[in-house]
Amino acid sequence: MGGAHPYIPNSAEGSKKALMEFLGISSVEELYSDLPPDLRLGRPLKVPGPLPEQEILRAIREKLSGVRTALDMPVFLGAGCWPHHVPAAVDFVVSRTEFYTSYTPYQPEVSQGMLQALWEYQSMICELTGMEVANCSMYDWASALGEAARMAARITRRDRILVPRTIHPERLEVLRAYAEPAGLRVEQVPYDRETGQMDLEALKTMMGPDVAAVYVENPSYLGFIETQVRAIGEVAHDGGALYIVGVDPISLGLLEAPGRYGADIVVGEGQPLGNHMNFGGPLLGILACRAERRFIWQMPGRIIGLTLDSEGRKAFCMALQAREQHIRREKASSNICTNEALCAVAAAVYLALLGPRGLRELCETIIYRSHYAMKRLDELPGIKAPLFKAPHFKEFVVNYDGAGLTAEEVHEGLLKAGVHGGKPLTGEFPELGQSALYCVTELHRKEDIDRLVEALGALIRR
């Protein structure tokens, strides 16, 4: 490339020369004199470019032209990353360069905007979950769960974590990645095959003086609502364990706040709150807990606090930094540094726009539509939807056994008909037969659901 690069002011020949003259060098080489010859690459990197802007966009648009998303066909996938509308005002706010290009607010006096927005996020998460403290984000639900398990183990000085058999398998894998190096054992509590509910008796027999935490997901990975959440919490507390609840925050517009049924730590996936799916990332890990000293000081991640400036004005800054890696190093409560702050700001804007009423109405629409889908699918011969006899929110298991179809055949058939079906569960939950996990939100109109039902009906008749 000849001449200056548009992103690099001092790549202009004159500027570069001026810098070198000031430094008394004739070549940049002299600044790399300490780079041993055998460590020099000695050839250009084998990467494409440089391309002018329009060529970059052309190349990428061309690559992406064949991609088909929920904008091109009805897609009934959820399972931890959910399609919801992102209000235009959310995208606008998080596109403000002051928010999106800044760094972690190490200098609070010039970073009040980000700090206040994050504090408001923490506060709204507390209102939703019924907890009193939330951090300002983890990477995603799964890693938040991993950190919550470690946190519970530090608080209780115990080492067993009981989780439902119906946990999202990918979340379980991440939990194990976080838990096992800390010497924690993760065990799964069986469930009732009729209702999906956690087997309370089994839980009781698995309890013991070494159980650090009992974890439930509500709504569960498989879509049903866990109705015994209060009882499960009591079993955990009776055994001296903490109670961790995982949530889809959207559902809390209507469903009871975990803080009201005994949760000590709440984790969850904040992506549906104003964040695009983005092929699965970035996501937004929620982590909230009770305002007890033994909890707060064991929390991972950044926490924003309200304080005063030297003239008595309200001001915000990062609080409790003595827990964190840049101070405590190997004794820190977690290694997390960069988090998902901007996604948290999106969530704050989203919740502010919807308010309590908007969130409730959104939940109602989701429930009407998901139940409409379940009802219509269940009417098809040989199809069972939902598979579990339990209340549901936006996801549900559809079983194809009675229709003599495999989950794979249904997936292929639907895709050919221009519908992307749910996530096949055959590998994850063989005991559920030929089943798939479907998700219906406010974005799925009646006609989209009807199209799914028709396409599946045609497959059955064939």
Partner 1 sequence: MVVSQPSFRQARWEEPIIFELGAPGRRGYLPPRPEPKVVEAVGPIEDLLPKEVLREEPPRLPELSEPEVVRHFVRLSQMNYCPDLGLYPLGSCTMKYNPKVCDIVASMDQVRWAHPYQDERTVQGLLAILYELKRWLAEITGTYEVSLLPAAGAHGEFLGCLIMRAYHKHRGELARRREVIVPDSAHGTNPASAAMAGFKVITIPSDPDGCVDLEALKAAVSDRTAGLMLTNPNTLGIFESRIKEIAEVVHDAGGLLYYDGANLNAILGWSRPGDMGFDIVHVNIHKTFGTPHGGGGPGSGPIGVSEELEPFLPVPRIEYDGKRYYLDWDKPLAVAKVRSFLGNVAVLVRAYAYILALGPSGLREIAEVSVLNSNYLFRKLSGLKGVAVPQDPDRPRKHEFVISLKPLERSTGVRALNVAKRLLDHGYHAPTIYFPPIVDEAFMVEPTESFGIEDLDGFAGAMESVLREAFEEPGRVLEAPYNTAVRRVDEARASHPRTMALSWRMLRRRGGP
Q: Which residues, 176 to 195, sit near partner 1 by CB under 8 A? A: 176-178, 180-183
Q: Pick the binder of partner 1 from 192, 360, 401, 457 (CB under 8 A).
A: 360
Query: Does position 349 bind partner 1 by CB under 8 A?
Result: yes
Min dist. Cβ of residue 205 to partner 1 (A): 25
Query: Does position 75 bind partner 1 by CB under 8 A?
Result: yes
Q: Pick the binder of partner 1 from 26, 193, 204, 260 (CB under 8 A).
A: 260
Angle between helices 341-378 and 112-129 (to 10 degrees): 30
Give which of 252, 325, 243, 249 is closest to 289, Cα–Cα. 243
Min dist. Cβ of residue 401 to partner 1 (A): 22
Query: What is the Cβ-side half-sphere exposure of residue 42, based on CA atoms within 13 angstroms?
Result: 6
Taking phi over 0 as left and psi of -120 to 50 as alpha, with beta for the rest, 353 belongs to alpha
Binding to partner 1 (CB under 8 A): which residues in 9-48?
Answer: 9-11, 15-16, 18-20, 22-23, 28, 30-36, 38-41, 44-48
Query: Does position 233 bind partner 1 by CB under 8 A?
Result: no
Binding to partner 1 (CB under 8 A): which residues in 381-420?
Answer: 391, 411, 415, 420
Query: Does position 461 bind partner 1 by CB under 8 A?
Result: no
Count residues near partner 1 (CB under 8 A). Answer: 207
DSSP symbols for 396-429: EEEE-GGGT--HHHHHHHHHHTT-B--EE-TTT-
Site string for partner 1, 302-331 (x = CB under 8 A): xxxxxxxxxx-xxxxxxxxxx-xxxxxxxx
Query: Does position 448 bind partner 1 by CB under 8 A?
Result: no
Contact 449, 440 (CB under 8 A): yes
Q: Which residues pair with 397 in a beta bridge?
A: 437
Min dist. Cβ of residue 186 to partner 1 (A): 11
Cα-based angle 122, 125, 130 (whole degrees, multiple of 5): 120
Query: Does position 367 bind partner 1 by CB under 8 A?
Result: yes
Give which of 457, 414, 423 is closest to 74, Cα–Cα. 414
Choice between 238 and 379, CB closer to partner 1: 379
Alpha-carbon distances, residue 270 vs 50, 76, 137, 157, 287 (angstroms): 37, 19, 9, 29, 10
Query: Does position 157 bind partner 1 by CB under 8 A?
Result: no
